[in-house]
C-alpha cells in the first residue's frame, strides 16, 4: 500500500500558485479553496487530453472526500499530487494530495464516471482510455 502522505507515491505532480483570494483573514488557504486545487489536478490528469473520452461523453464526480491534515499558506506554491487508484468499467478513482514546502496538508479521493451526455448514463471506458489511466496508476494498488 502506498504512503499517500509521500509525494513520491504519485505519478503526476503539478504546481499551483496560491492566490490571495484563496485565503482567509489570517493568510491560510480557505478550506473551500482546497477543492479548487484538487479540481485543477483532476483536470490535468483526466480532461486535458484530446480523444481520451468517448464521443459525446464527459466525466462526472460520483463521490469525493477531502481530509484536512494541516494548513496551506499565502504566499506560496502548492504541489497537487495525482494518481489513479482504481479503474472500473466506466469509472475510476483518483487519489490526490496537497503539499506545501514538503508537508502534506490534505488528502482526497474522488470517484469519477464517464457519462454519455445524450443517454444520461454511464458508458464503459475505451481500451485507449484504460491504457492511459494504467500508466497513472499508483504503485501497489489493485
Going from N- to C-terminal start, the domains of the chain cover 7-135
State the CATH class of domain 7-135: alpha beta
Q: How many residues does the chain have?
A: 142
How many angstroms separate the CA atoms of 24 and 140, rounded?
38
pLDDT in tens, 42-100: 999 988 777 788 889 999 999 999 999 999 999 999 999 999 999 999 999 999 999 99
pLDDT in tens, 122-141: 999 999 999 999 999 997 76
Residue 142 CB coordination number (10 Å): 6
3-state SS assignment for residue 1: coil
pTM assigned to the model: 0.93
Q: Phi then psi for 109, rounded to 5 degrees?
A: -140, 125
How many angstroms separate the CA atoms of 116 and 119, rounded?
5
3-state SS assignment for residue 50: coil
Amino acid at each position: 500500500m502506498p504512503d499517500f502522505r509521500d509525494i513520491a507515491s504519485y505519478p503526476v505532480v503539478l504546481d499551483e500558485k496560491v492566490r490571495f483570494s484563496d485565503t482567509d483573514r489570517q493568510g491560510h488557504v480557505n478550506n473551500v479553496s482546497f477543492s479548487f486545487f484538487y479540481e485543477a489536478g483532476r483536470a490535468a490528469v483526466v480532461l486535458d487530453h484530446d480523444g481520451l473520452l468517448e464521443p459525446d461523453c464527459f466525466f462526472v464526480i460520483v463521490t469525493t472526500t477531502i481530509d484536512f491534515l494541516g494548513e496551506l499558506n499565502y504566499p506560496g506554491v502548492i504541489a497537487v499530487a495525482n494518481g489513479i487508484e482504481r479503474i472500473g468499467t466506466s469509472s475510476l478513482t483518483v487519489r490526490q494530495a496537497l503539499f506545501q514546502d514538503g508537508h502534506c496538508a490534505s488528502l482526497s479521493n474522488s470517484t469519477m464516471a464517464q457519462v454519455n451526455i445524450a443517454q444520461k448514463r454511464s458508458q464503459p471506458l475505451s481500451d485507449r482510455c484504460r491504457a492511459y489511466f494504467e500508466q497513472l496508476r499508483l504503485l501497489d494498488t489493485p
